[in-house]
Amino acid sequence: MKACWLFAALFTGSFNLLADEDRINVYDVEAVNNGTETVVIPIIGAMESTGLLAGSVVTVTGVGQPQAQVVGFGAYSVNNSYISYLGYFNLGLTERWTMDISGLQAEFMDTQMFIGERPDDPIDVPNDASYLQRDWLLTFRYLLSESHQQAYKAPLLGLPTRHEYTARTVFEVEPFYRSRDFRSDYVSNVEGKTAGVQFTLDHDARNYTPSPNAGHHSYARLIRDWGNAERASYTRLEAQQVNYFDLGNTSWTRQQSLSLTAYISDIPTWDKNDPNSQPAWFAQSVLGGGDRMRGYADDYFNDRSAVFYAAEYRMIPSWQPQTSAPFIRNYNFPWWQFAVFAEMGKVEDQLDIAKLHQNMNWSAGFGARIFIENIVARADLGFSKDDSIFRFTVNQPF
Q: What is the pLDDT of residue 79?
A: 87
pLDDT recorded at residue 82: 92
pLDDT, residue 32, reads 62
Q: Say which CATH class 2-394 falls into.
A: mainly beta
Closest CA to 171 of 204, 195, 215: 204
Q: Which of 233-242, 244-253, 372-381 has the highest mean pLDDT?
A: 233-242
**Alpha helix positions (H), the chain:** 353-356
Residue 173 CA neighbour count, 13 Å, CB half: 4
What is the rounded CA–CA span in Å between residue 133 and residue 131? 7
- How many CB atoms sit inside 10 A of residue 12's CB? 8
pLDDT at 152: 52
Fill in the DSSP letter of residue 294. T
The C-alpha angle 382, 387, 388, rounded to 5 degrees, equals 35
267: nearest Cα among 203, 196, 347: 347
Rank 12-21, 26-35, 92-101, 323-332 by mean pLDDT and report only the highest.
92-101
Q: Residues 128-149: what's their mean pLDDT?
A: 90
As a whole-number percent, the residues of the chain with pLDDT over 70 amount to 81
pTM for the whole structure: 0.86
pLDDT of residue 14: 34
- CA-wise closest residue to 49 among 112, 132, 134: 112
pLDDT band (50, 70, 90) for residue 349: very high
Give residue 274's pLDDT: 86
Bridge partner residues of 357 (DSSP): none
pLDDT of residue 141: 97
Average pLDDT rounded to a whole number, residues 173-200:
89
Least confident stretch, 38-47, 236-245, 275-284: 38-47
The domain limits of the chain are 2-394
Residue predicted with more confidence, 2 or 76: 76
22-41 residues labelled b (16+ CB within 10 A) or e (exposed):
bbbebeebeebeeeebebbb
Tell me the C-alpha distance between 53 and 226, whole Å.
Answer: 39
Q: Which of 16, 59, 6, 10 is CA-nearest to residue 298? A: 16
* pLDDT surpasses 70 at 160: no
Q: Please state the rounded mean pLDDT for residues 283-300.
A: 93
Other C-beta atoms closer than 10 Å to the C-beta of 151 total: 13
Tens digits of residue pLDDT in 13-69: 333 444 455 566 666 556 666 778 888 888 887 666 677 889 998 989 899 999 899
Q: Look at residues 194, 346, 195 and name the one whose alpha carbon lies nearest to residue 279.
A: 194
| Pick from 81-95, 118-132, 234-248, 347-361: least confident | 118-132
- Comparing 273 with 292, the larger pLDDT belongs to 292
Give yes or no for residue 116 having a pLDDT over 60: no
Which of the two residues, 254 and 275, has the higher pLDDT score?
254
From the number of C-beta atoms within 10 Å of its C-beta (0-12, 13-18, 19+), residue 10 rates as exposed
Instruction: Report the pLDDT averaged over residues 193-217.
Output: 94
Please report the pLDDT score of residue 11 as a whole number.
31
pLDDT number for residue 202: 98
Q: Which residues contact 171 (CB under 8 A, 6 or more apart)?
A: 141, 142, 144, 199, 200, 201, 202
Q: Is 92 exposed, middle or buried (0-12, 13-18, 19+ CB in 10 A)?
A: middle
Average confidence (pLDDT) over 348-375 = 94
What is the pLDDT averaged over residues 250-270? Answer: 96
